[in-house]
Amino acid sequence: MLALTTPLFFGMMFGDVGYGLVLLAATVAARRQLGQWTPVAVTCSLASAGFGLLCGSVFGVEHWLPAVWLRPVEEPFRLLAAALWAGVAFIFTTFVLKASTLFRQGRRLEACIGLPGGAGALAYAGAVLGVRALYAQQGVPLIAWGAVLAGTTTAALYAVLEIRAHGRSKMADLASDYFHLLLTLLTNTLSFLRLAAFAMSHAALSTALFLVLETIPQTPAWWAVRIPVLLLGATLILVLHTLVVAIQTIRLEFYEGLTRYYRGDGRPYRPLSFPARTPT
């Protein structure tokens, strides 16, 4: 999951052929220092160059290559829609992974009809189809209503079975878990809008650099100023956007991904303690 989606998220937010190839060259040069992180850096660099080809961007210049897919600044709503659909696919996959984990743990009933498992995936898919229909100013299809109804009904049935098995004390836990899950489903899905936002911010930073260069006269005497400004600006964009996009990629993978389907045992908490003093 991480190996497939991390380069995709990074590349979509930093789609540029030139900067991607520079990152790839820097990764190869620093492969000994990077160690086990080298494959991650290589795949992210290649994804950045690949999305740059799709968007037709080379060091922020958008008239050297044709856009195979779209240009972020020219088609922002189409890019936002693609980011949302990427988020929907990612969230739906976390349901599948969570259900498979529960199944392997022997919690087969929860995997099938629990809200974190099959029931939640069914309700989420129906809700997405319903919202899409409403956005397109169409009637909500029956399949969407059926999926939401089936998912919520089976999740309620599982909650009743859990309360009968563990008593009324389980009711508060289930209510808290269900409320938190439903709330995070909305926020986690909308969080993927950052894929489009940072793609557009890269184009905006490049445009700002070119606007600064246009203020410098293009006479031969001023090229000694234009070239250092261009190199300094491009380096700043490369470093700043690489750091920001890397942080946002990690955030998406952790909050929208790992916290939904991964559970590690970790180490038991041991509070700080001091040896008891023996009286003198």
Condensed to tens digits (0 to 9), the pLDDT of residues 50-63 reads 999 999 999 999 88
Looking at the fold, whether 113 and 218 belong to one and the same domain comes out as no
Q: Across the chain, what does the average pLDDT equal? A: 91
Find the mean pLDDT for residues 73-96.
94
Per-residue pLDDT band for 182 (boundaries 50, 70, 90) equals confident
Report how many domains make up the chain.
2
pLDDT for residue 278: 66
Last residue within a domain, chosen from 172, 192, 212 = 192
pLDDT for residue 196: 95
Which pTM was predicted?
Answer: 0.86
**Spatial contact of 62 and 189, defined as CB atoms under 8 Å apart:** no
Looking at the fold, whether 174 and 106 belong to one and the same domain comes out as yes
- 118, part of any domain: yes
- 274, part of any domain: no
Domain that holds residue 206: 1-71+196-263
Last residue within a domain, chosen from 162, 192, 222 = 192
pLDDT for residue 198: 95
pLDDT for 217 beyond 70: yes
What tens digit of pLDDT does each residue of 254-271 get?
Answer: 999 988 888 766 677 777
Looking at the fold, whether 170 and 110 belong to one and the same domain comes out as yes
- 275, part of any domain: no
Looking at the fold, whether 133 and 222 belong to one and the same domain comes out as no
pLDDT for residue 220: 82
Looking at the fold, whether 156 and 215 belong to one and the same domain comes out as no
Looking at the fold, whether 134 and 186 belong to one and the same domain comes out as yes
